[in-house]
């Protein structure tokens, strides 16, 4: 399952955001770094080349502060050496609220964020 890169860039704004995170499949845990985020997914980097299963649903845990974290369920869209691109399959209401605020602060434009939310909901006219 590959995403058309130009389609993805046009419909969702990615923010460059480097932070430590953890990817888990329920049995194994993979420490990683988040390189960028969007409402649609993220790009992750690992110390070693990625060897996980690309058909598995993973949970990403990203701690923004002592009291704020984001958890999202992801599927791997592409893997290249030690980086993987992931698509968000599910995110709870608290996490999407935190992610929305983080993206809004980094974009500096709430109108751009609203466009992303419309694209995510499927209510936009492509």
Q: Could you report the per-residue pLDDT of 49-90, keeping only the tens digit for each?
A: 988 888 899 999 998 888 889 999 999 999 988 999 999 999
Cβ contacts of residue 28 below 8 Å, gap of 6+? 52
Q: With left for phi above 0 and alpha for psi between -120 and 50, is residue 81 left, alpha or beta? A: left
Tell me, yes or no, whether 126 lies in a domain: no
Q: Is the pLDDT at 100 greater than 60, yes or no? A: yes
pLDDT tens digit string along 2-60? 444 444 444 556 677 778 999 999 999 999 999 988 888 999 999 999 888 888 999 99
User: Around Cβ 21, how many Cβ atoms within 10 Å?
Assistant: 19
In a domain, 125, yes or no: no
From the CB of residue 97, how many other CB atoms can be counted at a distance below 10 Å?
13
Q: How many CB atoms lie within 10 A of CB 39?
A: 21
Helix, strand or coil, per DSSP, at residue 87: strand
Q: Quote the CA–CA distance of 11 and 80 in Å, as a whole number.
A: 23
For the chain, how many structural domains are there in total?
A: 1
Angle between helix 93-107 and 110-121 (nearest 10)? 140
Provide the pLDDT for residue 87.
94
Confidence (pLDDT) at 12: 55
Residue 9 confidence (pLDDT): 44
Q: Can you give the residue range of the structural domain that contains 40? A: 5-120
Question: In CATH, what number is assigned to the domain containing residue 17?
Answer: 2.40.10.220
Structure token pair of residue 104: 């809004």
Rounded distance between C-alpha atoms, residue 72 and residue 70, angstroms: 7
User: In this structure, is residue 18 part of a structural domain?
Assistant: yes
pTM, entire model = 0.74
106, part of any domain: yes
- Residue 46 covered by a domain: yes
């Amino acid at each position: 399952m590959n995403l058309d890169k130009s389609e993805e860039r046009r419909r969702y704004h990615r923010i460059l955001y480097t932070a430590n995170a953890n990817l888990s499949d329920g049995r194994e845990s993979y420490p990683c770094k988040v390189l960028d985020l969007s409402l649609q997914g993220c790009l992750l980097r690992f110390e070693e080349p990625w060897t996980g299963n690309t058909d598995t649903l993973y949970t990403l845990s990203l701690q923004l502060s002592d009291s704020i974290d984001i958890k999202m369920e992801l599927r791997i869209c592409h893997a290249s050496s030690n980086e993987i691109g992931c698509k968000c399959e599910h995110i709870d209401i608290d996490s999407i609220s935190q992610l929305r605020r983080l993206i809004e602060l980094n974009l500096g434009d709430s109108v751009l964020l609203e466009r992303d939310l419309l694209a995510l909901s499927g209510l936009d006219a492509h």
